Amino acid sequence: MTVTRLSSKGQVIIPKAVRMAHHWEQGQQLEVIDAGDGVLLKPASPFHETCLEDVAGFLRYSGKPKTLKDMEDAIEQGVQAQPANLS
């Protein structure tokens, strides 16, 4: 177990071994989550969470609409093009 200290400015040094294990570099933004008896640090997402309704307007398609059969055929083609998984 590694022990660190809280500075007078509220800063905590994360040990180098932990930073390296998580690939955290200088300037890494971390999300701080109150876990009741401690805190959890997670890399902050560079994008805010969205749902399909928020971004669907950006999905423009100009052309003849695809039928369900067209989509099923395209999926089947994609599956057949994949190499067989032998494991």
Which string of b and e fits 52-81 if b means at least 16 CB within 10 Å?
eeeeeeeeeeeeeeeeeeeeeeeeeeeeee
- Give the pLDDT band (50/70/90) at residue 86: low
**Tell me, what's the pLDDT at 61?**
77
Q: What is the pLDDT of residue 56?
A: 77
Q: What pLDDT is recorded for position 40?
A: 93
Q: Give the residue, 63 or 83, on which the prediction is more confident.
A: 63
pLDDT digits (tens, 9 = 90+) for 16-75: 999 999 999 999 999 999 999 999 999 998 877 788 877 777 777 788 888 999 999 999
The pTM score is 0.50
pLDDT value of residue 85 = 63
Closest CA to 44 of 24, 59, 18, 63: 24
